[in-house]
Chains A and B, each alone.
Chain A
Amino acid sequence: MKNSSILTGIILIVLYAHIFAQPDRSKVPAIPPAPELNLPAVQQFDLSNGLKVYFMEKHEVPLVQLNILVKTGSVNDPNEKSGIAGLMADMLDEGAAGKTALQIADEIDFLGAEISSGAGMHFSSVNLHTPLSKFDQALRILSQIVLTPDFPENELDRLKKERLTTILQWHDDPRSIASVAFSQLLFSKNHPYGRPSIGNEVSIRNISAADLKDFHNRYFKSNNAYVITVGDITKEKLTAALEESFGKWQKGDVPQVKLKEPEQVKNRIVYLIDKPGAPQSVLSMGRVGLPRLSKDYFPVSVMNTVLGGSFSSRLNQNLREQHGYTYGAFSSFGFRPLPGPFSAQASVQTEVTDSALIQFLKELNDISAEIPEQELSRAKNYLALGYPSNFQTVRDIAGQLAEIVQYSLPEDYFNEYIPSVNEVDAAKAIDAAKKYIVPDQMIIVVVGDRSKIEEGIRRLNLGEIKNLSVTDVLGAIPEVVQ
């Protein structure tokens, strides 16, 4: 140990003489009322060019998180060039303002800062995480990446090969196969929600550097973007820095796409995807859920916590704790501007695939029948009382602010969350289950060893069974030539 030379220690030795009663373990200690979460206010202001800024001060650690959100994503991908939003976001730091990819990476790494970029379905983001002491330099690099990317041909060629290889590698991984298959079979390849954001072999090959420039020009406009900042900085300093780096970002007309509502599943279909020799079957079942801004958001969130949204949820208790079929069973709703997916999932031992499906369907049915008060209040408390833990880091908080931005939620949304959860009663939760968990209208995707599981699944008479190959889902294995 080398600590003695650099430490000065103050050592206090205190003797306490206390009389302690044996603690009474026969009852659980009483829990006093929950403390309030007092967050600094969300500050909203516009730069001189109209760029909207959402800001929260956080001074405990000298860090700044600054996320640029742009309202475009894979839903804006043309069908024949699907993957373009993601590829464009990934290409931003591959050359900008005349600097090469290697120069940019070296500069950022040398600062100890991190810049990551990516496209979601409806929004893209470029996120900067930096020590406060490096904020000005890091912000300058961020603005070059966001505003003046060069999209060099050679780097595009490299990233395309990387993506094609990723698709090739998905063929090996049962969970990747299940995930792509579930979205594709639920929403269909004709809906943007049904396509992997990375694109497919043909569409990736179709994308040119000119396409990326065009896409960037079309959507990266100051009136189509938001800045989220959380950290150890004042509004004055932030404003000045942003004016300098993003104050000249131009406005422009941004095309709006009208997306079709996803079609609901009409009856139950089982898709069996063969993965010979697999020791587990990956199960994903579900249907189309509800949009983020639905009035049912809170009842659904509470109901799903009971069903499969926490460790002590019904699915996990049944399939893991009671039966030992799996390491974990969960369910979730994907919230988006349009109805996203509801899915329930687990990887189960091959031999019990049919038994596991029976238990899944039992829980999916039972959730609409009854939710006892104790179970309901546990779920509500889990969400409401656990809410402060979502605000530990600058990254966490920026993520919370991003939700406010993406869905135009009120600025005091953080204060509304807990009361909104607490308003949900058993009747509302059960109504939510009846409306959104309809086990007769679900797709069930099973990726596993067909020779061992098909017979058992057929005996359950769940509905039509369609056999698919991995290639049916992912396409042929891409040829990547150097």
Chain B
Amino acid sequence: MRVIIIIILACISIQAQSTGLNVPYTRHVLQNGLNVILHEDHSIPMVSLNMWYHVGSGYERQGRTGFAHLFEHLMFEGSGHVPEGQFDKLLEAAGGDNNGSTNTDRTNYWENVPSNALELALYLDSDRMGYLLDSMTPELVDGQRSVVKNERRQSYENRPYGLAWEIIYKNVYPAEHPYSWTTIGSMEDLSAASYEDVVNFFKTYYAPNNASLSIAGDINTAETIKLVEKWFGEIPRGKSIPQLQMPVVKAAEEKSIIHEDKVQLPRLYMVWVTPPTLTPGDAEMDALANIMAGGKNSRLYKRLVYDMQIAQDVSAFQDSKRFSSEFFIIATARSGHNLEEIKTVIQEEIDKLKKEPPTERELQRAVNQYEARFLDRLENIGGFGGKADLLNNYFYYTGNPDYFSEDLNRYKSLTVKDIQAMTQTYLKDNSRVILSIVPQGKRDLAIRAKEEVQ
């Protein structure tokens, strides 16, 4: 006999009503520590299960880069009661789809199924949480090692400019900082990953008390929590999870790096370390990205691509993460132009924003676009970025699954002065990484380097 304590939190947000953005949910905590978030949406007969394990490449150590992602692949290779290959086959036979992804901070998995197949998805997802190691073998690890190495070749090595990310992170963060490597990891470390590593990683991080399960769609909340309890309730709580101690990032210098690639056109990357996701400064950086490079009237697009036509493209974005984020500006020069020309314009626009705030219309245009995108977020039930995924996302980073309205209000309350202030604070000239990717033998097209890294 078991006694289960279930806590239901029904949060009603006043702000949520005023913005029209609320995603009603109930939250339950199983005795083993698994957080469960349920949201009913009966618009189509589909359910999405979305599991976040609170571990990502940020939890890896030097010499084992890429491991969290390799492990993600192994979660689809069968478990104690589910033979290899059956995870996908059973879901497809029920009309379902599934996938997973790994980033620095978390690993997520989802199954989208017709609502009658909810229990199948619970069975499969609970079996791999409870019994993965019963069927794990060194051969399975080798198999997915080859697949992941090919993922690395396909998405990074055999793609123009594909190695930029690796070079950037290595230079933005100190070597002992786990944000200093990419989620895909290095070939060498992928080769070194062992079966024992898999066992240890699973035992340390893949426990119910380090996970949250969000289920959205055509469900009955009361019945669903019983089913969740049935399949997940028996999985024992794991040991408490070691807290991450992130090294301090003190990049008080400008690093300029040149990398030669098999490309025709040089591309410039400028990168700064910025505030963590959903903390003060993060929304400012999003809005700044839009003011810089969102749409034809944005400052950099208008000058570089539209007026001067010396760049083929320009983009700016805040890559929001748990411990620190990065702000990127990326531009590709047209034939006959070098990256110094591009950088001069970018620098002028940064300096201008430090001196004078953007116009009210520029900011309002950005905020209006964010507001509209929030409506889009309410449409997808499942998959990456669907409601089930976002409930988990907000829960992980803020403790409140229905943070939609608060998130939008971050943008709505911005002032032009905020944008100016954050540009001054974070887009410092003496604290950034500049990467020039140039055609082979064309280092003269690059930003003049102070320090060169291959």
A residues contacting B by CB (< 8 A) are 1-3, 6-20, 22-23, 25-26, 28-29, 31-37, 58, 60-63, 101-102, 105-106, 109-114, 130-131, 134, 158, 161-162, 165-166, 168-169, 171-174, 277-280, 282, 310-312, 317, 320-321, 323-327, 347-349, 377-379, 381-382, 384-389, 391-394, 477, 479-482
Residues of A within 8 A of B302 (CB): 102
Report the bound CA distance from A62 to B372 in whole Å: 10
Residues of A within 8 A of B373 (CB): 112
A389 with B97: CB separation less than 8 A: yes
A–B Cβ pairs within 8 angstroms, 26 of them: A7-B14, A7-B400, A9-B11, A15-B6, A23-B230, A25-B131, A60-B379, A101-B306, A102-B296, A109-B368, A110-B365, A161-B334, A165-B312, A280-B150, A280-B154, A280-B158, A323-B146, A324-B142, A327-B150, A347-B158, A385-B95, A388-B44, A388-B114, A389-B112, A393-B376, A482-B309
Report the bound CA distance from A384 to B44 in whole Å: 14
B residues contacting A by CB (< 8 A) are 1-15, 20, 41, 43-46, 80-81, 85, 88-90, 92-98, 112, 114-117, 119-120, 122-123, 126-127, 131, 142-151, 153-155, 157-160, 218, 226, 229-231, 233-234, 262-265, 294-297, 302, 306, 309-310, 312, 334-337, 361, 364-365, 368-373, 375-376, 378-382, 386, 398-400, 403, 406, 409
Pick from B81, B90, B264, B376: contact of A168, CB under 8 Å: B264
Residues of B within 8 A of A158 (CB): 306, 309
* Extra inter-chain contacts (4) besides given A60-B379, A112-B370, CB under 8 Å: A14-B6, A58-B43, A112-B368, A389-B97
Report the bound CA distance from A387 to B364 in whole Å: 39
Residues of B within 8 A of A480 (CB): 334-336
Q: Known contacts A13-B8, A392-B381; decide if A311 and B88 are in contact (CB<8 Å).
A: yes
A327 with B309: CB separation less than 8 A: no
Closest 6 CB pairs of A and B: A385-B95, A324-B146, A112-B372, A35-B45, A105-B296, A386-B95
B147 with A347: CB separation less than 8 A: no
B94 with A385: CB separation less than 8 A: yes
Report the bound CA distance from A109 to B116 in whole Å: 41
Report the bound CA distance from A441 to B175 in whole Å: 54
Residues of B within 8 A of A106 (CB): 295-297, 365
> In whole Å, how far is A293's beta carbon from the nearest beta carbon of chain B?
26
Residues of B within 8 A of A37 (CB): 44-45
Residues of A within 8 A of B149 (CB): 349
Residues of B within 8 A of A20 (CB): 2, 4, 229-230, 233-234
Report the bound CA distance from A278 to B156 in whole Å: 12
Most buried by A among B95, B122, B144, B146: B95
A18 with B159: CB separation less than 8 A: no
Report the bound CA distance from A111 to B145 in whole Å: 47
Report the bound CA distance from A348 to B400 in whole Å: 44
Residues of A within 8 A of B378 (CB): 60-61
Chain B: which residue is nearest A111 at the CB level? B368
B20 with A62: CB separation less than 8 A: yes
Chain B: which residue is nearest A168 at the CB level? B264
Residues of A within 8 A of B334 (CB): 161, 165, 480, 482
Report the bound CA distance from A389 to B95 in whole Å: 9
B8 with A18: CB separation less than 8 A: no
Most buried by A among B80, B98, B158: B158
Residues of A within 8 A of B116 (CB): 31-35
Report the bound CA distance from A19 to B229 in whole Å: 11
Residues of A within 8 A of B88 (CB): 311-312
B153 with A131: CB separation less than 8 A: no
B297 with A109: CB separation less than 8 A: yes
Residues of A within 8 A of B143 (CB): 321, 324
Residues of B within 8 A of A278 (CB): 158
Pick from B9, B41, B145: contact of A12, CB under 8 Å: B9
Pick from B2, B45, B147: contact of A320, CB under 8 Å: B147
B46 with A389: CB separation less than 8 A: yes
A35 with B379: CB separation less than 8 A: no
Chain A: which residue is nearest B99 at the CB level? A311
Residues of A within 8 A of B263 (CB): 169, 172
Pick from B119, B120, B147, B160: contact of A324, CB under 8 Å: B147
Residues of A within 8 A of B117 (CB): 31, 385
Q: Known contacts A9-B9, A385-B94; decide if A168 and B335 are in contact (CB<8 Å).
A: yes
Report the bound CA distance from A166 to B218 in whole Å: 44
Most buried by B among A102, A317, A324: A324
B44 with A23: CB separation less than 8 A: no
> In whole Å, how far is B230's beta carbon from the nearest beta carbon of chain A?
5
Report the bound CA distance from A15 to B122 in whole Å: 23
B375 with A63: CB separation less than 8 A: yes
Chain A: which residue is nearest B21 at the CB level? A61
Q: Known contacts A12-B9, A348-B150; decide if A378 and B89 are in contact (CB<8 Å).
A: yes
Residues of A within 8 A of B80 (CB): 25
A35 with B218: CB separation less than 8 A: yes
> In whole Å, how far is A473's beta carbon from the nearest beta carbon of chain B?
15
Report the bound CA distance from A19 to B88 in whole Å: 32
Residues of A within 8 A of B375 (CB): 61-63, 131
B160 with A169: CB separation less than 8 A: yes
B150 with A347: CB separation less than 8 A: yes
> In whole Å, how far is B138's beta carbon from the nearest beta carbon of chain A?
14
A388 with B45: CB separation less than 8 A: yes
Report the bound CA distance from A161 to B146 in whole Å: 41
Chain A: which residue is nearest B43 at the CB level? A60
Chain A: which residue is nearest B121 at the CB level? A29
Residues of B within 8 A of A3 (CB): 398, 400, 403, 406
Residues of B within 8 A of A381 (CB): 92-95
B92 with A310: CB separation less than 8 A: yes
B114 with A386: CB separation less than 8 A: yes
> In whole Å, how far is B403's beta carbon from the nearest beta carbon of chain A?
7
Residues of B within 8 A of A377 (CB): 93
Pick from B218, B264, B295, B365: contact of A477, CB under 8 Å: B264
A382 with B92: CB separation less than 8 A: yes
Chain A: which residue is nearest B232 at the CB level? A23
Residues of A within 8 A of B226 (CB): 18
Report the bound CA distance from A8 to B231 in whole Å: 33
A23 with B262: CB separation less than 8 A: no
Chain A: which residue is nearest B373 at the CB level? A112
B297 with A102: CB separation less than 8 A: yes
Report the bound CA distance from A25 to B8 in whole Å: 28
B306 with A172: CB separation less than 8 A: no
Report the bound CA distance from A278 to B154 in whole Å: 10
Residues of B within 8 A of A386 (CB): 95-97, 114
B153 with A279: CB separation less than 8 A: yes
A12 with B95: CB separation less than 8 A: no
> In whole Å, how far is A429's beta carbon from the nearest beta carbon of chain B?
16
Pick from B120, B153, B160, B336: contact of A481, CB under 8 Å: B336
